[in-house]
Amino acid sequence: MDIDLARAWVRAIAVAVGQNKDHLTQLDSAIGDADHGTNLDRGFSAAADAVADLAADTVGVVFTKTGSTLISSIGGSAGPLYGGAFRAVGKALDVPVADQRTFAAALAAGLKSIRLLGAAAPGDKTMIDAYAPAVVAFEERSRQGDGFAGAASAAADAAEEGMRATTPLQARKGRASYLGARSVGHQDPGATSTALIFRALADTAAR
């Protein structure tokens, strides 16, 4: 992961979120505040603009700026959760070029940030249900000797599988938890946007 790839990933996330904005909002309208797509589109568009011409000497600077922009641009819980995750990733990548093992550790640091702030665990029907398996998949494929693109693709596949697995779950955290059993049968919007983020990483790495 170098500075150019970091910028490209943020741009790719902004494009993916923009293309799926209505879908994210539709999912959120069923079990949330019906603003997830709109909020993330605003936040990642602002982040992509913020890092486009950013004077960065490390990969971490790109992701730290991304996180700070998300926190200031996105309302509700999504801003601190996604923003905090990207800032944690950035803090772990204080190098011009990060090797695969270092990047895997940075992804894990992002997950830790989300878990600390959101107090959620796998199975709670949150973004963690997509993020946690993505980290595991990236780490495992890296240990097996796969290159960055292969590990990123596996992470995206795992995130999407985790996303789909939220549908039969009853939400135990966040706004959706207020619905109790009525949250069952709906795919979690946070897990869906997280899967988009990891798919954007895979697509960027493949290019």
Q: pLDDT tens digits, the chain, 207 residues: what are they? A: 999 999 999 999 999 999 999 999 999 888 777 788 999 999 999 999 999 989 999 999 999 999 999 999 987 788 999 999 999 999 999 999 999 999 999 999 999 999 999 888 898 899 999 999 999 999 999 999 999 999 999 999 999 999 999 999 888 777 776 667 877 888 999 999 999 999 999 999 998
Q: What pLDDT sits at residue 30?
A: 82
State the DSSP H helix or E strand holding residue 158, giving kind and residue range, or none if neither: helix 148-164
pLDDT of residue 31: 75
Contact 160, 182 (CB under 8 A): no
Q: Facing residues of 117 across strands?
A: none
Q: What is the DSSP string of 23-85?
A: HHHHHHHHHS-S-HHHHHHHHHHHHHHHHHT---SSHHHHHHHHHHHHHHH--TTHHHHHHHH
Sign of CA dihedral 108, 98, 14, 79: positive
Rounded CA-CA distance 137/182 in Å is 31
- Report the pLDDT value the prediction gives residue 155, as an integer from 0 to 100: 98
∠ Cα 129 34 24 (to 5°):
50
Helix axis angle, 3-19 to 36-52, nearest 10°: 150
First to last CA, the chain: 13
Q: What is the pLDDT of residue 33?
A: 77
Rounded Cα distance between 39 and 47, Å, is 12
**Spatial separation of the C-alpha atoms in residues 124 and 120, rounded to whole Å:** 6
- The radius of gyration of the chain's CA atoms, rounded to the nearest angstrom, is 16
Span 3-206 CATH architecture: Alpha Horseshoe (1.25)
What whole-number distance in Å separates Cα of residue 90 and Cα of residue 181?
A: 38
The residue among 11, 17, 139, 153 whose CA lies nearest residue 78 is: 17
Residue 42 tokens read as 């605003």
Q: Please, what is the Cα angle at 134 between 21 and 138, to 5 degrees?
A: 130
Residue 183 gets which letter from DSSP? G
